[in-house]
Amino acid sequence: MMSTSGKELFTVARIFGAYYELHSAETSYVRAVLKGKLRLKQSGDRHPFVVGDLVYAEPSQGDWVILEKLERKNYLTRKSDFGDSHVLCANLDLV
């Protein structure tokens, strides 16, 4: 869903290093990076973005830039060897 401001709703499909592969029915797959303030934002999560997260992004100089993450409907976590847990994926329809 493209808005008049150029933002489009995507689902995070894959994460590789500092890049994210996003998918929408309208645009298909695109490569994106985090906007500076999202990269620097402190978060209690080990990985603030996971596969399945819904995000708004806009095109910028050949790539896309993730502007914001929407609230997760649900998520799947696992505990690490150190006792903390982290989110593996989000917004699941079926497990």
How many angstroms separate the CA atoms of 33 and 21, rounded? 9
Structure tokens at 94: 């079926």
pLDDT tier, 64 (very low <50, low <70, confident <90, very high otherwise) = very high
pLDDT at 46: 60
pTM: 0.82
pLDDT of residue 4: 46
First to last CA, the chain: 26
Hunting for tokens 């590789």 — which residue is that? 16
Contact between 84 and 76 (Cβ < 8 Å): no
pLDDT tens-digit series, residues 5-41: 689 999 999 999 889 999 999 989 999 998 876 655 5
